[in-house]
Structure 1
């Protein structure tokens, strides 16, 4: 297996990852029923986010925390949701890639999930 090296690699990872998420009833409803995500339309933005996060390139300009705060206002995002999300993310990375960037993206995902959980918890209290 190779490492994550390009935007195309990120697209491959993200399509596989979201396929897993959308097939998991413990979390899929958040994307389909609450956020009503159109993955075809949303994928470029997701790829932009991870391209910026991993490679420090790309054009991502949105505020992911605000997006999740707004989503949390509609459906409380729990620690279990974040655990499912992170589990699928790590499993997907490990099934497709190996190397420094593969490990880096998993670490970034865990950091992002941790910060979001803390901020969402603080917003609720």
Structure 2
């Protein structure tokens, strides 16, 4: 049986709940959510669902600056290409287990674009090494699901 595509806000909210469950438990990025940001998922979920609904379903529900909270988080505990790579990897895995279709593929591609843009906009590529936005191979490997050696 074919997996359904993402077609509604409800689909997005369910996928985001699964994603955050995995992200909070992840040893690499989990501490950024649970210890640094102390993210209250119930408070955050409507806003992040607005973001993805706007991006994927072409609504105008998100009105905000997605970079600002990430910049504050980066200032408290630097976010690296490996962190963003894991974020992309977990998002893709969440979607692959639940949805398939053009909107789902757009969601996966969008996550990659967001990760690269965030790394660049955090000033030094998010790598701590002054790479000018270069995304190291570790991020590509994490995003694709390959082991980082």
TM-score by length of 2: 0.80
Structure-2 separation of matches of 1:38 and 1:13: 17
Q: Which runs of 5+ in 1 are unaligned?
A: none
Q: Secondary structure at the match of 2:122?
A: helix
The structure in which a higher percent of residues are helix is 1
Runs (4+) off by over 2 Å: 121-125
| Worse overlay, 53-62 or 37-46 | 53-62
CA deviation vs aligned residue, 1:30-72 (integer Å, no higher than 9, x gap): 0111111000111000100000111120421110111111111
Q: Secondary structure at the match of 1:60?
A: coil
> What pairs up with 1:34-113 in 2 under 5 angstroms?
34-113=36-115
Structure-1 separation of matches of 2:33 and 2:50: 19
> Which protein is bigger by CA-based radius of gyration?
2
Structure-2 separation of matches of 1:23 and 1:70: 22
> Would you say how many aligned residue pairs link Structure 1 and Structure 2?
125
Shift of 1:121: 3.6
Structure-1 separation of matches of 2:60 and 2:15: 17
Structure 2 counterpart of 1:14:
16
Shift of 1:26: 1.1
Q: Which runs of 5+ in 2 are unaligned?
A: 131-149
Q: Secondary structure at the match of 1:122?
A: coil
Structure 2 counterpart of 1:2:
4
Structure-2 separation of matches of 1:51 and 1:22: 22
Alignment RMSD (CA, Å):
1.3
More relative contact order, 1 or 2 (CA 8 Å, 6+ apart): 1
